[in-house]
Amino acid sequence: MKPISEIHCYQETGTTWKTDFTPTVPGVHIHRFTINEFTHLTEQYAALIRADEAEKSNRFYHREDAQRYLLSRILCRLLLAKYNAQRPQDIEFLKGRFDKPYIKQEQEVAMPFFNWSHAQNMLVIAFGNAELGVDVEQVRDFDMEAIAEMTFNKAEQKFLNASERNSEDFFRLWTRKEAAVKAAGFGLNEELRLFPVLDGRNDLNDTEAADGLILQNTSLLVEGEYSISVCYAAARPVPQHYFSLLPEQLLISA
């Protein structure tokens, strides 16, 4: 696991979410799903759920959490099948360091890397050909001061204190940090303040990270209430494609 040397952060505005899906277009692909429009797929494609996943879903206290857990795996398998010309039932998720999921590969595939995140009624899954991470949070008001010192460095705290859109900016920085940690393969219990994520280039002050990962980190606001950040390993930005598909576009033949 390489250390991070740079995090380049951007804000995406005027994003076009495509309803037509072309799996072969190069770049990072980001899919968003309104969860309550897709929950019926947990029954329709129950056969795609492995025994250990079904067992874990039964341990969730809230039914909604179990549905989100199952749906993320079903949708990810359906999309990976389209990207990599595989049968979704053959796709096996393994756990890497800090439980980051990856697929068991017996041959080279087009989109080997993926990551997912969900919040309330929003599920986001990102795919690419390099390590990546994604995070989504619902923008809301709460007492941020209590966790700001643990989460943000001095420059980030100064930025938030001066912000006129405090909640929106808070979650933009928060999701950037979570996405960066996931892209680098670190655990989510890392000290987030050590990962600088203000707009522009952020250099990490660790001399051991001189030859480390260079991360590109893009943020956007969806539906005025969901903050999404997608972070991937690349020396410079690559094309990003945003998709909002309908359930029928994910159907597979029997």
Burial 38-64 (b: 16+ CB within 10 A, else e): bbebbeebeebbeeeeeeebeeeeeee
Label residue 96 exposed, middle or buried (CB < 10 Å: 0-12, 13-18, 19+). exposed
Cα distance between residue 231 and residue 129, in whole Å: 13
State the greatest distance between any 2 C-alpha atoms of the chain, in Å, as a whole number.
Answer: 56
Into how many domains does the chain fold? 1
Structural domain boundaries, residue 73: 4-250
Strands 132-138 and 226-233 come out as antiparallel
**pLDDT reported for residue 148:** 86
The tokens describing 102, both together, are 């990856």
- Domain of 43, CATH number, reads 3.90.470.20
Q: Residue 231 CA to chain centroid, in angstroms?
A: 8
**pLDDT reported for residue 143:** 82
Q: What is the mean pLDDT of each run of 10 residues along the chain (254 residues)?
A: 90 93 93 96 94 94 92 97 92 83 80 94 96 96 84 94 92 97 82 93 72 94 97 96 94 66
Residues constituting the chain: 254
Local structure of residue 176 (DSSP, 8 states): H
The tokens describing 84, both together, are 């990599």
**pLDDT reported for residue 127:** 97
The tokens describing 14, both together, are 């005027």
